[in-house]
Structure 1
Amino acid sequence: MTDGTISEEEFWDARYGESDQIWSGNPNAVLVREITGLAPGRALDLGCGEGADAIWLARQGWRVTATDISRVALDRAARHATAAEVDGRIDWQRHDLGASFPAGDFDLVSAQFLHSRGDMPRERILRTAASAVAPGGVLLVVGHAGHPSWEHDSHPQMRLPTPKEVLEALDLPDGQWEVQLCEEHQRSQTGPDGQPATRTDSVLKVRRLIG
């Protein structure tokens, strides 16, 4: 729940219903950087929103399962995929990931900014995500590692872990995974007041070993 009166699904449906487009429509930069050059296979996009990442992956030749809690977001994403002529490569599924999870295993599992102001069990979801990675496959987790420079503890209930804390919470078995990237970086963006601002993000990329 977000404030004790509405569910996560209702919150996100209302959020996406505020306007015709919430996000930029561009794929996340870290996803593009880290996945470009990988042989396409089966990908799982967790919290796909309006579908920019899933559509980009499909354009690179991946077969994508894309999931979100908001039906409004999924319907919008499906329309974007149709316009991009990749709708046949993407399976849109609605899941509250704390209660249900897409079936199967995947060569890539991507969780880009999978945060909530509610009680979403993020650590448990990411452990389930790791278990869905096929041998030789990659789990890529990108998230906020701190509140933006224009906010000061405005959402104290939302914990924003470091990449090391994300890795530790995954509790990956010894000798079965390779840590390829575990870092923080700052990026520039425009704040709500139109002024330049900064944000610290975390990146964790781990690969399940074969054999």
Structure 2
Amino acid sequence: MDSTQQFWEDFYRDKDQVWSGKANPILVGEVTSLTPGTALDLGCGEGGDAIWLTQQGWRVTAVDISDVALQRAAGHAAEAGADGITWERHDLAKSFPEGHFDLISAQFFHSPVAENGERDKALHRAAEAVAPDGTLLVAGHAGWPTWMEEPPHKDVHFPTPAEVLETLELTDGEWTVERQDLITRDFPGPEGQQGTRSDNVLRVRRSA
């Protein structure tokens, strides 16, 4: 087990539940109008997005680097009656699920331990795996919450939608940028501090 996987195994093992279990609101807002097909959930964590997609009729492959996260996600899916999700462990800088997908979702695909270029490599590979008329949705934080005076990782760079788009190296005429946006929402702190947090959204569609 390399240091990156060990970090994420420890991250999930440290708590019985890390995330809310609900689907990311950006995913819900961007995908609800799409016709269900095959979906790939990158960095699926504890399975909230994958379970929601399955409940909407998508046939989902969900991947994560952490075995702990995948086992927990599969348990949550069983409890929810969300059958048919394919769970795969991948370090996406080194391996990638086979096939093409009608939807590929990368929600808050950040890592404090990834080496330079690993995220870009994974997203570039994701674009290659989008099926004709398929959608790639990338959502990520644009910065730390406004109430956070001392961020835990001061040197973290949050890519803008334009930077993500450049990373994807999409072929001109083959893709349509459907959304390239910044969303700001209320985001109170753990002790009730008032504040906001901004997120980047990029949604692109491959030509049929």
TM bin (shorter chain) = over 0.9
Measured after TM superposition, the shift of residue 90 of structure 1 is 0.4
2:109 is equivalent to residue 114 of structure 1: yes
Moved more, 91-100 or 114-123: 114-123
Match of 1:61 among 57, 65, 87: 57
Percent identity between the two aligned chains? 56
Determine the C-alpha separation between the residues in 1 that align with 2:188 and 2:11. Answer: 20
Q: In the alignment, which of 82, 93, 101 is matched to residue 96 of structure 2? A: 101
Is 1:143–2:140 an aligned residue pair? yes
Structure 1, unmatched stretches of 5+, are: 1-5
Superposition misfits of 4+ residues, deviation over 2 angstroms: 151-154
In structure 1, distance between residues paired with 2:178 and 2:20: 28
Alignment partner of 1:189 is 2:184: no
2:165 pairs with 1:167: yes
Q: Which moved more, 1:39-48 or 1:162-171?
A: 162-171
The 5 A counterparts of 1:1-211 are: 7-87=3-83, 89-120=84-115, 121-149=118-146, 150-152=148-150, 154-210=152-208
User: What TM-score do the two structures reach when normalised by structure 1?
Assistant: 0.93
CA shift, 1:152, in A, is: 4.3
Alpha-carbon separation, structure 2, partners of 1:126 and 1:13 = 22
Aligned residues: 205
Cα displacement string for residues 156-175 of structure 1 (whole angstroms, at most 9, x for unaligned residues) = 33220111111112111100
Shift of 1:144: 0.7
Contact 2:142/2:198 (<8 A) preserved: yes
Rounded to whole Å, the distance in 1 between the matches of 2:45 and 2:164 is 22
**Deviation of residue 153 (structure 1)?**
5.2
Distance 1:112 1:72 in 2: 19
Equivalent residue letter for 1:127: H
Q: RMSD of the TM alignment (CA)? A: 1.5
Matches of 1:196 and 1:13, distance apart in 2: 32
Over 3 Å counting, the alpha-carbon distance change for 1:172 and 1:14 in structure 2 is: same
Q: For residue 96 of structure 1, report the CA deviation from its aligned partner.
A: 0.5
**In structure 1, what residue type is equivalent to 2:89?**
R
TM-score between the two structures when normalised by the length of structure 2? 0.94
Distance in 1 (alpha carbons) for counterparts of 2:190 and 2:14: 16
Q: Matches of 1:154 and 1:84 in 2, distance apart? A: 34
